[in-house]
């Protein structure tokens, strides 16, 4: 027999290797499945069992925005309400089966306005919209009161039908169901639209509270049904539809990784097309309701701060749609942007003075912003729909009537003592810093307003000392002038430095504080922003 014939067969070895490979693949697959299931269970545990603090990672995962988009997804708002719990699950103010809610001031069902009896013989003006129309300021600083106290107050009277949280669909439904209450008065109607949000809300069925959902059927808008009147009842009947929180965490991650693919999987293009279809029909239906009654009317566009001076990219198609529909149907349109830009000289830092940056005004116009937007309304009320006329606004600015206190305060500790940091429109960006090596107290000035550190001394300090200078100078590309520093003791200015000197030539500070109750360090001005606007007190001592 030949040697070749005596070789053992190779098949068993190949078979054994194949079994090992299959076991390895199976083990890997099982590990991946177990990891995914474990990850899903862990996220659900983090979300829905919040009885204890589980650290910063868990806290970051307890955010509805990690799993859904509030601009088009009911699940975002449902999850947000459940995660917040408590008052977030309370029923809406003025629950209404058609509108969702009326805000508490307007009577559900009849839509009677509490101030109808105050109109008298004056020309009635009806303002519809969301919180930008309703105002987050007190009513005394809102449009109806501004009109009342203006030179137009004897001629016009406004009933404000703005309701916080409304989408364009709810604005339309409020108008449709309340307008005939006033047919005998032949009102002027203003349809206020926040271009940067209202159109997004029209495809939601829940936004903190249950709301109507309209579909386009043929050429008609059809509601899907009455709105449940209790929040808990709505959530019980319409639970969160997310199947996998782990998968959604991947889909909605804030990164460029597979960005376009993830957007396609989320159905963003399809949702945008639905938004366009529904909102165009709503805009056209608002026009039909008003023109069929022969009512004088115009659309008024509000803007969030990011879109106040120029179009905000995520909402460009919304703004363009409103302009297109108004052009196609000859609807008078007034855009508050022209007046906001004029009042702020086109600077975003100065525009920030027209918005609130903390509750309850967060993201909304403050008292000054309301006055600026009213000047846009004025032109519409007078039937002037040509180029923006800012002459009256210019007179108000010259008379100082837009100067309101828009300061925001935050408790801090400086120089080892409790203090209050006072800023204006800080957006959460740092306006102060204290370092130990080198020993410095730093403040950043800004066009949007001064920055101040106020100490409550109560007679417990004798002297403030240190050296004052800018943080960046000409070699850093900063102008020599533009920053101003002052010190107030018990409200009186004891030092005013109109030009803060450079680091090479600091100013010595030596302030007597004997018996003083308060000390305030104030930074003002602008040298181009960023690093150029920081100044510091070197080696500060508060003895």
Query: What is the model's pLDDT at position 59?
Result: 80
Query: What is the model's pLDDT at position 9?
Result: 56
Tell me which H or E stretch contains 170: helix 168-178
Helix 74-84 vs helix 11-48: angle between axes, to the nearest 10 degrees? 60
- CATH number for the domain spanning 429: value is 2.60.120.1060
Query: What is the model's pLDDT at position 19?
Result: 81
Query: What is the model's pLDDT at position 423?
Result: 87
Query: What is the model's pLDDT at position 51?
Result: 58
Does residue 440 share a domain with residue 416?
Answer: yes
Does residue 359 share a domain with residue 494?
Answer: no
Query: What is the model's pLDDT at position 284?
Result: 98
Question: H/E/C letters for each residue in 82-148?
Answer: HHHCHHHHCCCCCEECCCEECCCCCCCCCCCCCCHHHCCCCEEEEEEECHHHHCCCCHHHCHHHHHH
Query: What is the model's pLDDT at position 528?
Result: 79
pTM: 0.79
In the listed set 349, 364, 398, which residue is the last one of a domain according to the structure? 398
Longest dimension (CA), the chain: 125
User: Is 7 part of any domain?
Assistant: no
Strands (E), 186-231: 188-194, 214-217, 220-223
SS3 state at 14: helix
Question: Contact 245/43 with Cβ under 8 angstroms?
Answer: yes
Helix 316-328 vs helix 268-291: angle between axes, to the nearest 10 degrees? 30
Q: What is the pLDDT along the chain (543 residues), one digit of tens a residue?
A: 445 555 555 555 667 777 888 888 888 888 888 988 998 999 999 898 865 566 777 788 999 999 999 999 999 999 999 999 999 999 999 999 999 999 989 999 999 999 999 999 999 999 999 999 999 999 999 999 999 999 999 999 999 999 999 999 999 999 999 999 999 999 999 999 999 999 999 999 999 999 999 999 998 999 999 999 999 999 999 999 999 999 999 999 988 899 999 999 999 999 999 999 999 999 999 999 999 999 999 999 999 999 999 999 999 999 999 999 999 999 999 999 999 999 999 998 889 889 988 778 889 999 999 999 999 999 999 999 999 999 999 999 998 888 877 778 889 999 999 999 998 766 556 788 899 889 999 999 877 788 999 999 988 899 999 999 999 888 888 998 999 999 999 999 999 999 999 999 999 999 999 999 999 999 999 887 768 999 999 999 999
Query: What is the model's pLDDT at position 1?
Result: 46
Structural domains counted in the chain: 2
In the listed set 354, 369, 398, which residue is the last one of a domain according to the structure? 398
Closest CA to 249 of 52, 46, 105: 46
The bridge status of strand 417-423 relative to strand 432-436 is unpaired
Does residue 301 share a domain with residue 283?
Answer: yes
CA distance 123 to 157: 6
The bridge status of strand 451-456 relative to strand 518-525 is antiparallel
In the listed set 368, 398, 428, which residue is the last one of a domain according to the structure? 398
Does residue 386 share a domain with residue 434?
Answer: no
Does residue 417 share a domain with residue 277?
Answer: no
CA distance 535 to 525: 11
Does residue 364 share a domain with residue 219?
Answer: yes
CA distance 70 to 80: 9
Domain that holds residue 492: 408-542
Residue with tokens 């559900």: 108
User: Is 494 part of any domain?
Assistant: yes
To 10 degrees, the CA torsion angle through 424, 430, 432, 438? -160
């Amino acid at each position: 027999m030949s040697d070749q014939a005596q070789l053992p067969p190779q098949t068993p070895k190949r078979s054994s290797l194949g079994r090992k490979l299959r076991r390895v693949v199976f083990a890997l697959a099982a590990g991946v499945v177990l990891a995914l299931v474990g990850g899903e269970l862990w996220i659900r545990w983090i979300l829905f069992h919040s009885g204890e603090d589980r650290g910063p990672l868990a806290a970051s995962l307890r955010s509805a925005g990690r799993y859904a988009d509030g601009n088009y997804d009911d699940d975002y708002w449902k999850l947000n309400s459940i995660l917040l719990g408590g008052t977030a699950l309370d029923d809406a103010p003025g629950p209404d089966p058609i509108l969702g809610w009326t805000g508490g001031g307007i009577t559900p069902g009849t839509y009677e306005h509490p101030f109808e009896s105050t109109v008298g013989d004056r020309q009635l003006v009806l303002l519809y919209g969301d919180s930008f129309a309703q105002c987050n300021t007190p009513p005394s600083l809102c449009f109806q009161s501004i009109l009342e106290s203006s030179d137009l107050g004897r001629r016009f009277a406004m009933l404000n039908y703005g309701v916080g949280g409304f989408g364009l669909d709810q604005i339309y439904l409020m108008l449709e169901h309340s307008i005939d209450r006033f047919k005998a008065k032949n009102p002027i109607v203003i349809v206020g639209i926040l271009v940067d949000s209202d159109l997004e809300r029209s495809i939601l069925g829940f936004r903190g509270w249950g709301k109507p959902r309209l579909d386009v059927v043929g050429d008609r808008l059809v509601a899907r049904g009455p709105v449940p009147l209790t929040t808990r009842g709505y959530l019980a009947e319409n639970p969160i539809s997310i199947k996998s929180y782990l998968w959604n965490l991947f889909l909605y991650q804030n990164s460029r990784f597979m960005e376009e693919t993830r957007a396609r999987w989320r159905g963003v293009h399809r949702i945008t097309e639905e938004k366009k279809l529904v909102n165009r029909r709503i805009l056209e239906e608002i026009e039909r309701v008003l023109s069929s009654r022969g009512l004088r009317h115009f659309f008024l566009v509000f803007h969030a701060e990011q879109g106040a001076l120029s179009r905000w990219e995520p909402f460009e198609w919304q703004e363009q749609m409103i302009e297109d529909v108004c052009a196609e149907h000859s609807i008078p349109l007034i855009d508050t942007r022209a007046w906001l830009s004029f009042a702020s000289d086109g600077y975003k830092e100065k525009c920030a003075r027209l918005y609130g940056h903390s509750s309850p005004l967060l993201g909304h116009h403050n008292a000054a912003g309301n006055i600026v937007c009213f000047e846009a309304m004025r032109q519409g009320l007078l039937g002037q729909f040509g180029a923006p006329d800012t002459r009256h606004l210019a007179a108000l600015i010259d008379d100082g009537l837009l100067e309101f206190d828009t300061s925001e305060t935050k408790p801090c500790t400086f120089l080892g003592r409790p203090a209050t940091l006072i800023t204006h429109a800080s957006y959460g960006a740092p306006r102060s810093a204290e370092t130990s090596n080198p020993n410095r107290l730093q403040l950043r000035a800004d066009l949007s307003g001064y920055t101040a550190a106020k100490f409550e001394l109560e007679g417990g300090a004798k002297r403030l000392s240190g050296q004052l200078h800018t943080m960046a100078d000409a070699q850093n590309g900063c102008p020599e002038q533009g920053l101003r520093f002052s010190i107030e003791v018990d409200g009186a200015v004891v030092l005013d430095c109109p030009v803060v000197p450079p680091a090479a030539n600091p100013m010595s500070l030596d302030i007597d504080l004997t018996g003083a109750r308060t000390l305030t360090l104030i930074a003002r001005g602008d040298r181009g922003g960023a690093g150029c606007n920081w100044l510091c007190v070197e080696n500060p001592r508060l003895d």
